[in-house]
Amino acid sequence: MRKILTVLTALIILPFASFAKDPEVRLDIVPYPQSVEIGKGSVKIAGAQFYCDPRLDSLSRVTVASLAGKLSLVTGKISTNVIGISSTIAPPQKGFVFLFDKAMEDEEYSISATAKCITVKASSSNGFLYAVQTIKQMLPTAVYGRKMAVSEDWSIPVCEIKDKPRFKYRGMHLDCARHFFPVEEVKRYLDIMAVHKLNRFHWHLSDDQGWRIEIKNYPRLTEIGAYRSGTMIGKDFGSNDGIVYGGYYTQAQIKEVVKYAAGLGITVIPEIDLPGHMLGALSAYPQMGCTGGPYEVWTKWGVSNAVLCPGKEDTFYFLEGVLTEVMEIFPSEYIHIGGDECPKDHWKTCPDCQKRIAELGLKSDDKHSAEDYLQNYVTSRIQAFLGNKGRKIIGWDEILEGNLSEGATVMSWRGVDGGIQAAKMGFDAIMTPNTYCYFDYCQALKSENENEPLNIGGELPIEKVYGYEPFDGMDENSAKHILGVQANLWTEYIEEPEHLEYMLLPRMAALSEIQWCDQSRKDFERFKTAIDHEFKIYDTLGYTYSKVIKGIHGYKN
């Protein structure tokens, strides 16, 4: 017993034992951990045994086992994974030791590497996932590959790392409506997110240019709404390539994506954009529009003024049917219901809409039109429907115009103002300002745009992304309502997966530091140095990325 106690005491003390710091060693970890201390020397890990606390949940055990498997492959020496450390079996003092620590917060982890032993602690599966990501970043980048690399230096510096994210919502959005990306590409996108410790995938599944999710009760949504007769060429709004374009995800495929994401610690939040951006659906079910159509899936970019008719009960019947199926395949707490850019021209002349306005007693005032208040009616009716099923809504910042019902979360996209205003009013907000977080914008300066692949324009170099501080313009009370930060990737001008990745990387690395690091831990000079290591990781994983930070443009040459 005494022996066990001695071993346990050593284990408790060892991680916090002071050690000689080594100023020569730099850890290129992105996002940078909350606290890093580097000691002298390193611990060899080729062939190291893994010991796993049986209290780890099944996902955490898979995470540990897959690191053991990966190291066996790349180092050429077998690492076996032993599950079964308990008070009666003394934890070993060499190799990897993964311990459950209930005192740790969700997503928090620590890594303590002494000369012989690497002890990892966390209380959640995401905590272990992030610890493993950090360990991989401390190793030769061959650890991201699938080849044996025996000659690499398979060791980790003696160090103490304590880490947890700044924000609980660390999101990335993907527009699969303007261009459709197959399941394999969506999974790869999720992989990229996981490398950067992101945990929310906002999946934009419907728009004027295509409906992308199978709804069994409304089959025409995908038979008709998922295909457009052509696409404008480049930025020529008068053109049409005449090539039928489209695609959609079956419910089985979506379930597969949701499961895959969960394995990476990522929650998928679907977006059904309403009541605007609905031409895909209206082409299939024109009776839901104010004019009754005919409508056609749009072949050009922009915002159609054909929107859903909230004057008709059928519209709500349709939306509730769609959202019921959406909830069956997405277990997320939040459902994104869009709400952006809804032109009200048709509502102004539609007898059904005007009748609804009169019945509800909606009146224009000096700030908003009666039709703006009609959009509030749509939002709160859908919010109540989802709320009754235990779900919460997220909407783009337009939902704030007029009267927003309690419990809604606002996604600030037209700059930061919507988020600031929402938080001040007591709503939760997620910051996705186009000024810092729109990755469809050019990542070079405007003057260099011609050397870049096709993009929507604008100017969003990585330095600018990195410099974003989500609490700017907010007081302490408002800041408590900021759930986190997300970047958006709209795909009007992006069709190829390589182009998609190019727009994403390495700006996602900068995003990850906004999401993860407290303000005091952010340092662009440190980040810029670490980016070389990040690029090696991308190379090993076969990702396409921009080297504008090195003065190199484009990705096809």
Which listed residue (173, 204, 277, 336) is catalytic?
Answer: 277
Q: In angstroms, rounded to a whole number, what is the distance separating the alpha carbons of residues 254 and 386? A: 20
Minimum distance of ligand ACM from residue 413's CB (angstroms):
4
Q: Which is nearer to ligand ACM, 170 or 202 (CB)?
A: 202
Q: In angstroms, rounded to a whole number, what is the distance separating the alpha carbons of residues 122 and 98? A: 8
Which listed residue (108, 207, 440, 534) is catalytic?
Answer: 207
With binding defined as CB under 6 A, does residue 396 bind ligand ACM? yes
In this structure, is the dihedral angle defined by the CA atoms of residues 178, 543, 199 and 417, taken in order, positive or negative? negative
Of ligand ACM, Zn ion, none, which one sits near residue 275, judging by CB under 5 to 8 A according to partner kind? none
Q: Which of residues 341-360 bind ligand ACM (CB under 6 A)?
A: 341
Q: Which is nearer to ligand ACM, 111 or 483 (CB)?
A: 483
Of ligand ACM, Zn ion, none, which one sits near residue 396, judging by CB under 5 to 8 A according to partner kind? ligand ACM
Of ligand ACM, Zn ion, none, which one sits near residue 353, judging by CB under 5 to 8 A according to partner kind? Zn ion
Residues in the chain: 557
Of ligand ACM, Zn ion, none, which one sits near residue 268, judging by CB under 5 to 8 A according to partner kind? none
With binding defined as CB under 6 A, does residue 207 bind ligand ACM? no
Q: Does the active-site annotation cover 207?
A: yes
Minimum distance of ligand ACM from residue 427's CB (angstroms):
17
Q: In angstroms, rounded to a whole number, what is the distance separating the alpha carbons of residues 340 and 307? A: 11
With binding defined as CB under 5 A, does residue 319 bind Zn ion? no
Q: Which is nearer to ligand ACM, 260 or 301 (CB)?
A: 301
Q: Which residues contact 546 (CB under 8 A, 6 or more apart)?
A: 443, 502, 503, 505, 506, 507, 555
Q: In angstroms, rounded to a whole number, what is the distance separating the alpha carbons of residues 183 and 247? A: 11
Minimum distance of ligand ACM from residue 303's CB (angstroms):
8
Q: Does the active-site annotation cover 452?
A: no
As given in the structure block, the two tokens for residue 542 are 């076969």
With binding defined as CB under 5 A, does residue 282 bind Zn ion? no
Amino acid identity of 470? P
Q: Which is nearer to ligand ACM, 61 or 178 (CB)?
A: 178
Of ligand ACM, Zn ion, none, which one sits near residue 470, judging by CB under 5 to 8 A according to partner kind? none
Q: Which is nearer to ligand ACM, 180 or 396 (CB)?
A: 396
With binding defined as CB under 5 A, does residue 309 bind Zn ion? yes
Minimum distance of ligand ACM from residue 194's CB (angstroms):
25
Q: State the DSSP code for 525.
A: H
Minimum distance of ligand ACM from residue 155's CB (angstroms):
46
Q: Does the active-site annotation cover 208?
A: no
With binding defined as CB under 6 A, does residue 152 bind ligand ACM? no
Burial (CB count within 10 angstroms: exposed 0-12, middle 13-18, buried 19+), residue 386? buried
Q: Which of residues 349-378 bind Zn ion (CB under 5 A)?
A: 350, 352-353
Q: Which is nearer to ligand ACM, 137 or 375 (CB)?
A: 375
Burial (CB count within 10 angstroms: exposed 0-12, middle 13-18, buried 19+), residue 225? buried
Of Zn ion, ligand ACM, none, which one sits near residue 448, judging by CB under 5 to 8 A according to partner kind? none
With binding defined as CB under 6 A, does residue 413 bind ligand ACM? yes
As given in the structure block, the two tokens for residue 555 are 């990705």
Which listed residue (341, 371, 398, 401) is catalytic?
Answer: 341
Of ligand ACM, Zn ion, none, which one sits near residue 352, judging by CB under 5 to 8 A according to partner kind? Zn ion
- Cβ distance 90 to 8 under 8 Å? yes
Amino acid identity of 117? C
Which listed residue (256, 340, 352, 496) binds ligand ACM by CB under 6 A?
340
- Cβ distance 164 to 105 under 8 Å? yes
Q: For 164-233, list the strands marked E by DSSP.
A: 169-175, 200-204, 206-207, 210-211, 227-228
Q: For 53-142, list the strands marked E by DSSP.
A: 81-83, 95-100, 109-113, 117-122
Minimum distance of Zn ion from residue 276's CB (angstroms):
13
With binding defined as CB under 6 A, does residue 163 bind ligand ACM? no
Q: Which is nearer to ligand ACM, 223 or 345 (CB)?
A: 345
Tell me which H or E stretch contains 354.
helix 351-360
Tracing tokens 């025996």 back to the chain, one arrives at 150
With binding defined as CB under 6 A, does residue 441 bind ligand ACM? no
Q: In angstroms, rounded to a whole number, what is the distance separating the alpha carbons of residues 317 and 140? A: 56
- Cβ distance 38 to 67 under 8 Å? no
Amino acid identity of 84? G
Q: In angstroms, rounded to a whole number, what is the distance separating the alpha carbons of residues 266 and 259? A: 9
- Residues involved in catalysis: 207, 277, 341
Binding stretches for ligand ACM (CB under 6 A): 340-341, 396, 413
Binding stretches for Zn ion (CB under 5 A): 290, 309, 311, 350, 352-353
